[in-house]
Chains A and B, each alone.
Chain A
């Protein structure tokens, strides 16, 4: 008996440190950090942690969790969630200066969820879900209610496995006012199997992460195929965090950076639970000039991929390979430019957009969205989603879409008018963008008057209108290979690519800040004080009038005035008073 046990133990030890755990509930963790220098000298760091669980989340049954966090698993199981996407973002991704992001998110909080078709009351489940998530992530997601929730029909398709896309099972909401800070990061880190104790997550130091131009953290849960035959479902949890460091201005005009400079930490080991732990550094040569930049220490390998229509070269550091920590105890990736790069023109992304509000006064205004297609010869369609709160009353007849001076008729339009205090406007359009063009979409609105309790604190700051969402399959200039999703780096694999000739992009425009007619909130108090004073003064004089006793006063020697008058009278020869 003992011998058998020892043999078994030896066998298991030989099989490797816990990665070969067989059985129905197999789960695996992959962690990855992508460091990409941005065209204007900033550096974007994207962390991705993927927990894959080869088990179906049962509803109401006994559940046993290992790497998958119990809080989220229970939530998915109890509320019948098919897919959940939550992002919390501080700052705005500047597409024109930074290029296409791997994963963009609107500023504030964004939540979109697909429910299972077995859920009968989707609105109730949605309400419950947002409340629980608000507790888990310490965010004010509990402010998600009917007035900012919409059900898009075309924009948000399931990213994971789905049979049937009945859009009544989808809910989407954005809270543009949400401020993201440390209290949201801590619970996010707690969901990681290794916490922030080991692996790539040791770099997640709040004081550095929030001292940056852009910070976005996300949780994506979706069902995926367990294997190629796709007979069983696995659940995937992706936790991503993107941060943009302003190294150019803080680095004395140099574009050089290192892990320690950005995070004030270095990497010492991989998370012992991870089956893959890699650092990718984007070293793609620009303008065909090679050897402009230098990365130290030498990378474990070099990986070439086509990401978002661009051929890119990545230096890869595999934290699980023992050779990496042989020479030094820690990994501090350093990035140096060999000679100062002349300020080359920035590559303009194929699809980008802008939005602004115009008009004067506090009665009417206009929202304009500009969408650019810089592709030299290909036209492509784009789905635009606008959600506008009910207190901006859209005039749909003023909706104009102009491309190259001509009117552009959208091929699909879905408009759901707002109801006061009940639901927002939802406008979805499929617009064809001709090659090398810009398209202007404008719509006028009227500002509503709110009840005095409906104003948020500091109403003079303005009211946020959430970003509009652009979803498009952008034609790629360079051909892309179909790659195996399990082996390719994580940052390429969240959005499925339809074929080799195009790639999926989801862009968010700027959120808008609109002023509404705001009353003087001290007015009620002023009115009370004024009327009370007037009433009190009137009352006082009446009271005096009614209660005083008047009686004739005996003339006395009189005061100074009387004596003076008498002196004057004496001169005039008139009898004194």
Chain B
């Protein structure tokens, strides 16, 4: 990553996003690269306080309930929690660039740059997060377990659960919503994996927990500790994907029954969750969508309901980001973040994802090959066919080239090589000829010969006993004196 230092004094009337856009053609756009522009301390390029044209995120916000207005380009102003005196010191663009305000001293600038690198690039902490699965010890935090395992592809399934089709006739414009909101994100993510999207509507699918009635608000409440029990009964109805073996990301839109609505999710402190949604790591997310009661109770059933897809998709996409381990949590407050726009994630975030997946793939290859080697050690007479052997060689070679390329900074080719290594190693490991049940364990072979060995051992043991007895007797007897 190159840290170019420029002094764009001529760009005074511009704001930082415009400057970033203007500088974009000049940049090194290779995957994994990062360009930082240092601007003078007094430059008006970076606003002194949170500007209303930019986006900011508070680090305190709980990720499961983020309500990020990202899709409709709506503007969100900075919460007042930011100390005014501090101002904005850095601007993180949506490509691979950042503007940094020069600090008074060189060490201060260096620390600021380092901080920025921490946010935008791959660091030791992201390595531990990526390897949290492979490394058995260590205490992975709740966030470390959240992100999905690296895979060649993912299936995204949107399910509308309507447990009460007698009262609610629900329609959702899912086709349109997928092309408008989901597809741009997936196009961006297509570097990382293949994605397929489908949707279904399930009727009479109920949550596994009966919500509690709250008299004060005359609504039903689902507390945070009961959420783990919600998913299992629903999952039986979801059905697994028949046509592929990729992991499935489930996004459920739940319309509560008429007798249980409105339904709200409570967090651990008992406060209602603003988005009325929760997500389950590595599985997906659920949004509860309450249908407004009809004005007159005599309204004919079923009630026609058109789902507001923008509202729902916003939450689903925030959950999708979380499932991939992208969050804005570690951002220091004096950093300004440009909205990634319709694509849902910035270029540098994509790079981080690629870094993480590459490292995870290499770790997977290492563990797979290790366990294959352990299997070979355990069963001595196992037959390794030529194709399995060539897969193993290919996996090792690809993993090595991935590491070399990673060291030289060629992120994309490193990721491709790591993917190849992972597929080769999996193919070798799951080869049907390596099923250990195909081979006789040695103890069973011994069991077959027991009927032979046992009767043969009897005379040997008896004569051994006799020899021992005789030698003992000889010792006891005093030497004969003639």
A interface residues with partner B (beta carbon < 8 Å)? 9, 12-13, 17-18, 21, 25, 60, 62-67, 69-72, 74-75, 77-79, 132, 135-136, 190, 193-195, 197-198, 272-273, 528-529, 531-533, 535-537, 539-540, 543-544, 547
Contact = CB atoms under 8 A, between A and B. Distances in A.
B419 to A, nearest CB: 20
B243 A78 contact: yes
A420 to B, nearest CB: 23
B204 to A, nearest CB: 4
Contacts of A74: 198, 241-243
Contacts of B203: 193-195, 197, 273
Given A75-B243, A190-B237, A528-B448, A13 B204 contact: no
B306 to A, nearest CB: 8
A13 B242 contact: no
Interface stretch (B27-35, B97-105, B171-179, B404-412): B171-179
Contact of B204 (A17, A135, A194, A543): A194
B456 A539 contact: yes
Contact of A18 (B169, B454, B463): B169
B242 A75 contact: yes
A13 B243 contact: no
B25 interface: no
A65 B169 contact: no
Given A71-B239, A71-B242, A132-B242, A66 B304 contact: no
Given A64-B175, A66-B201, A71-B239, A536 B456 contact: yes
B138 interface: no
A273 B201 CA distance: 12
A78 B198 CA distance: 13
A62 B201 contact: no
Contacts of B199: 63-65
Contacts of A21: 171
The dominant DSSP class at the A interface is: helix
A62 B198 contact: yes
A65 B449 CA distance: 61
Given A9-B304, A66-B200, A66-B201, A533 B455 contact: yes
Interface in B456-472: 456, 458-460, 463
A272 B243 CA distance: 30
A537 B242 contact: no
A547 B463 contact: yes
Given A71-B239, A540-B455, A195 B169 contact: no
Contacts of B204: 194-195, 197-198
B197 interface: yes
A537 B239 contact: no
Contacts of B237: 190, 195
A71 B203 CA distance: 15
B165 interface: yes
A216 to B, nearest CB: 24
Given A70-B239, A74-B241, A198-B166, 4 more contacts: A60-B196, A65-B198, A70-B200, A543-B460
Interface in B148-173: 157, 165-166, 169, 171
Interface residues of B, number: 40
Contacts of A194: 165, 203-204
6 tightest A-B contacts by CB?
A536-B455, A78-B243, A532-B452, A532-B451, A18-B169, A197-B204
A212 B196 CA distance: 44
Contact of A272 (B165, B304, B451, B459): B165
Contact of A532 (B178, B200, B201, B455): B455
Contacts, number: 108
Nearest to B463: A547
A272 B302 contact: yes
A76 B451 CA distance: 56
B125 interface: no
Contact of A544 (B175, B300, B452, B459): B459
Contacts of B171: 21
A75 B196 CA distance: 14
13 contacts: A17-B300, A18-B169, A62-B175, A62-B178, A71-B239, A74-B243, A194-B204, A195-B203, A198-B166, A532-B452, A533-B451, A536-B455, A543-B460
A198 B243 CA distance: 30
Contacts of B458: 540
Interface in B283-324: 299-304
A536 B242 contact: no
A528 B451 contact: yes
A77 B196 CA distance: 13
Contacts of B201: 65-67
A540 B456 contact: yes
Interface in B240-278: 240-244
Nearest to B159: A70
Given A65-B199, A66-B200, A544-B459, A17 B243 contact: no
Nearest to B299: A13
Nearest to A132: B242
B300 to A, nearest CB: 6
A197 B206 CA distance: 11
B481 to A, nearest CB: 22
Nearest to A537: B455
A544 B462 CA distance: 10
B304 A64 contact: no
B459 A13 contact: no
Nearest to B157: A70
Contacts of A532: 449, 451-452, 455
A196 B157 CA distance: 24
A74 B242 CA distance: 7
Contacts of B455: 532-533, 536-537, 539-540
A205 B166 CA distance: 22
A67 B201 CA distance: 7
B157 to A, nearest CB: 8
Given A540-B459, A543-B460, A547-B463, A69 B451 contact: no
A529 B451 contact: yes
B197 A273 contact: no
A51 B178 CA distance: 25
